[in-house]
Amino acid sequence: MSVETNKQPADGTHSGPAPLIRLEQVTKRFGDNTVLDHLDFSVDAGRHVTLIGPSGSGKTTILRLLMTLAKPDEGTITVDGEQLFPASEKQIREVRKKIGMVFQQFNLFPNMSVLRNVTEAPVTVLGLSKDEAEARARELLDLVGLADKCDAKPSQLSGGQQQRVAIARALAMRPQVLLLDEVTSALDPELVAGVLDVLRDIARSTDITMLCVTHEMNFARDISDQVLMFDSGRVIESGPPEKIFGDADHERTREFLSAVL
Ligand SMILES: Nc1ncnc2c1ncn2[C@@H]1O[C@H](COP(=O)(O)OP(=O)(O)OP(=O)(O)O)[C@@H](O)[C@H]1O
Ligand SMILES: [Mg+2]
């Protein structure tokens, strides 16, 4: 299995004990609504961390901040030692290359073939040759079980297949981190398992760091090293899945889990 990442060589500035993702005292408000309230958490390289918590609690907002699609009002966010806010356009571009994101809505390019969806950014952003990008794309499409769909258009695929293309597309950039935001929640129930199996396989067989938001608690239990229970703008509890799902300390966590399990 050869999903590789664009890791920086250990050059003294990017190595060391610093976590790959770190949020410190991050506050994000929309008007009077304080969505993230002095939030602290970090994710070490190679770990699989799942964020759970009620709807509207700010989970997507966290991922959007990491993608630099939104700005915090206070606090600092670093990815691989680089601070995101403030950062120059160039720094932002560099950080974005380290992060792949898959959303609930897959947002494939509708007029491009499946193969081209996966090769486009590696060619235009990373400067790969067409041949290199295609070889990489074919390998990844094989990984997600779609080797025979290279020439199809997204509209000819099921939702689950489109989501698997979106996963291959994110991996084609060889990100260090994969952010996953409820990637199965727009899918018909019978298509969910295939997508989760692909993600389990990636979690098991690669060293990519994963930060997942999911309502699929069995999936969270399977793939996570750590589960963060998030409510009212803060992480209220975190721990290995067996602790959070089996013996949570907080009443709020137990209440949430009993409602969703
Ligand atoms: N662009 C925006 N403008 C104003 N309010 C926003 C914006 N984006 C998010 N919010 C508000 O921030 C809060 C957190 O939203 P967010 O999408 O992060 O929640 P979530 O935890 O991902 O919820 P869900 O589980 O339903 O996806 C919500 O109250 C939402 O209405
Ligand atoms: Mg969300």
Ligand nearest to the CA of 52: 1
Probe target for ligand 1 pocket from 32, 50, 59, with the most ligand atoms within 8 Å of CB: 59
For residue 170, the model assigns a pLDDT of 97
- Are 53 and 215 in contact by the 8 Å Cβ rule? The answer is no
For residue 261, the model assigns a pLDDT of 85
Within a domain: 242:
no
Residue minimizing CA distance to atom 29 of ligand 1: 56
Within a domain: 219:
no
Residue minimizing CA distance to atom 2 of ligand 1: 30
Other beta carbons within 10 angstroms of residue 189's beta carbon come to 7
- At 84-121, the pLDDT tens digits run 999 999 999 999 999 999 999 989 999 999 999 999 99
* Three-state SS annotation for the chain: CCCCCCCCCCCCCCCCCCCCEEEEEEEEEECCEEEEEEEEEEECCCCEEEEECCCCCCHHHHHHHHCCCCCCCEEEEEECCEECCCCCHHHHHHHHHCEEEECCCCCCCCCCCHHHHHHHHHHHCCCCCHHHHHHHHHHHHHHCCCHHHCCCCHHHCCHHHHHHHHHHHHHHCCCCEEEEECCCCCCCHHHHHHHHHHHHHHHHHCCCEEEEECCCHHHHHHHCCEEEEEECCEEEEEECHHHHHHHCCCHHHHHHHHHHC
Q: What mean pLDDT is predicted for residues 139-157?
A: 97
Q: Is the pLDDT of residue 256 over 80?
A: yes
Rounded distance from Cα 62 to ligand 1 centre (Å): 10
Share of the chain above pLDDT 90, in %: 91
Ligand nearest to the CA of 61: 1
Within a domain: 126:
yes
> CA-to-CA distance for 30 and 23, rounded, in angstroms?
19
For residue 5, the model assigns a pLDDT of 67
Ligand 1 residue neighbourhood (C-beta within 6 Å): 30, 33, 35, 55-61
For residue 28, the model assigns a pLDDT of 98
Both tokens of 61, joined, read 């907002």
Closest atom of ligand 1 to 58 CA is 18
User: How sure is the predictor about 14, in pLDDT bands with cuts at 50, 70 and 90?
Assistant: very low
Within a domain: 151:
yes
For residue 173, the model assigns a pLDDT of 96
Within a domain: 149:
yes
Closest atom of ligand 1 to 62 CA is 18
Both tokens of 36, joined, read 């993230």
Within a domain: 180:
no
What's the domain count of the chain?
Answer: 1
Q: Is the pLDDT of residue 141 over 70?
A: yes
User: How sure is the predictor about 7, in pLDDT bands with cuts at 50, 70 and 90?
Assistant: low
Closest CA to 173 of 215, 120, 221: 120
Q: What mean pLDDT is predicted for residues 29-51?
A: 97
Within a domain: 81:
no
Share of the chain above pLDDT 70, in %: 93
Q: Is the pLDDT of residue 13 over 70?
A: no
Closest atom of ligand 1 to 70 CA is 1
Q: Which residues fall inside 5 Å of ion ligand 2, going by CB?
A: 60
Ligand nearest to the CA of 59: 1
User: How sure is the predictor about 187, in pLDDT bands with cuts at 50, 70 and 90?
Assistant: very high
Closest atom of ligand 1 to 215 CA is 25
Within a domain: 178:
no
Q: What mean pLDDT is predicted for residues 200-212?
A: 95
Residue minimizing CA distance to atom 18 of ligand 1: 58
User: How sure is the predictor about 9, in pLDDT bands with cuts at 50, 70 and 90?
Assistant: very low
- For residue 111, CA distances in Å to 40, 115, 153, 196 come to 41, 12, 7, 26
- Are 154 and 110 in contact by the 8 Å Cβ rule? The answer is yes
Q: Is the pLDDT of residue 10 over 60?
A: no
Q: Which domain holds residue 169?
A: 110-173
Probe target for ligand 1 pocket from 28, 39, 61, 105, with the most ligand atoms within 8 Å of CB: 61
